[in-house]
Amino acid sequence: ETGVTQTPRHLVMGMTNKKSLKCEQHLGHNAMYWYKQSAKKPLELMFVYSLEERVENNSVPSRFSPECPNSSHLFLHLHTLQPEDSALYLCASSQRPGGSGANVLTFGAGSRLTVL
Amino acid sequence: GQNIDQPTEMTATEGAIVQINCTYQTSGFNGLFWYQQHAGEAPTFLSYNVLDGLEEKGRFSSFLSRSKGYSYLLLKELQMKDSASYLCVCLDSNYQLIWGAGTKLIIKP
């Protein structure tokens, strides 16, 4: 496989459930990101990892817990979520952390999360 | 604060030309990206501008005016497959990405 792959593509969970989102990149990139995309709102950066070290955490509630076991894999563990957490969760990767014209983000197709 | 403004939705006709505008107010500026996102798919990179002027890539062109805090994406010879959301994204002085909410483009036959 090539690019950035996210699983599952769709997830429905109750507020008391525990689930995880998975992201895998086959691009040899060193930085990985989690973004939240809600309808008609800008993308919200949640977490940034560089070589498996978390370099940014944008005041995300503790019910979201990221894990980066190696530079190719990224997880987002979910527990006791709220209905307002329903959104599309996008994973992305790039050569290195931070934006630039030479450091374009490559996104996965996202995991559509619905919290009941 | 930092802000990116772009129209929420636009409609255009197959074969025509459409211009999607983006204005920005950011803490410093280190460039502007356009991404395309089809429904249910990943955002994909279209263009990057850091200097004033027009960059052309086939049917798509992107323009930047740094003094006006303004960019546009121009799509020519529209095809049905161009129906998608177009995201305007700025790099601020700290090289952080500031995202617009996106413009949903609907192409009609």
pLDDT exceeds cutoff 80 at B1: no
When CB atoms are compared, the residue of B42, B44, B95 closest to A100 is B95
Closest by Cβ to A107, choosing from B42, B48, B99: B42
- To the nearest whole Å, the CA of A63 is away from the closest chain B CA by 24
Higher pLDDT, A55 or B19: B19
The pLDDT, as a whole number, for residue A58 is 79
B62-103 pLDDT, tens per residue?
999 999 999 999 999 999 999 999 999 999 988 889 999 999
Q: How far is residue A46's CA from residue A78's CA, in Å, rounded to a whole number?
A: 13
A100:B91 CB<8 A: yes
Q: What pLDDT score does A98 carry?
A: 79
Local confidence band at A101 (pLDDT 50, 70, 90 cut-offs): confident
| Preceding amide of A8 cis, omega within 30 | yes
> B96 to chain A: which residues are within 8 Å by CB?
98-99
Mean pLDDT of chain B: 96
Work out the pLDDT band at B107, boundaries 50, 70, 90.
very high
Chain B's closest residue to A45, CA to CA, is: B97
CA distance B37 to B77: 19
Which residue of A lies nearest to B33 if distances are taken between CA atoms? A101
Tell me if chain A has a CB within 8 Å of the CB of B1.
Answer: no
Segment A22-43 shows an average pLDDT of 95
